[in-house]
Structure 1
Amino acid sequence: MSTHEATGPTGSTGWGPLQWTGAVLAWVWVGVPFGYGLYELMLKVPALFG
């Protein structure tokens, strides 16, 4: 097996710091509004059934 096959097409075996930062920011970009929506939903559910 050659080095090219072992490390993949780009030659690196893992993510760099910039890729990790982008991944974390992407999860925050989705997670914060989702969490806020769930919070608001939990506040409104008792009003529906109460």
Structure 2
Amino acid sequence: MTKHNNDETPAPGALIKMILAWLLVGIPLAWGVAQTVLKALPLFQ
């Protein structure tokens, strides 16, 4: 039977790559949500 080592540390640049990937998706997503909310506000006035 083999034992798996779950104590491996990620590569030093992995955190930076993950943050950049989330920003690449998150910034346009946040902008789209903000635009949708701004355009929907007149419907409720």
TM interval, shorter chain, is: 0.7 to 0.9
What TM-score do you get using the length of structure 1 for normalisation? 0.67
What TM-score do you get using the length of structure 2 for normalisation? 0.73
Q: CA RMSD in A?
A: 2.3
* Runs of 5+ consecutive residues of structure 1 not aligned to the other structure: none
Give the paired residue count. 44
Fraction of identical pairs, as percent: 25
Bigger RCO (CA 8 Å, 6+ sep): 1
* Runs of 5+ consecutive residues of structure 2 not aligned to the other structure: none
Structure number having the greater helix percentage: 1
Moved segments of 4+, more than 2 Å: none
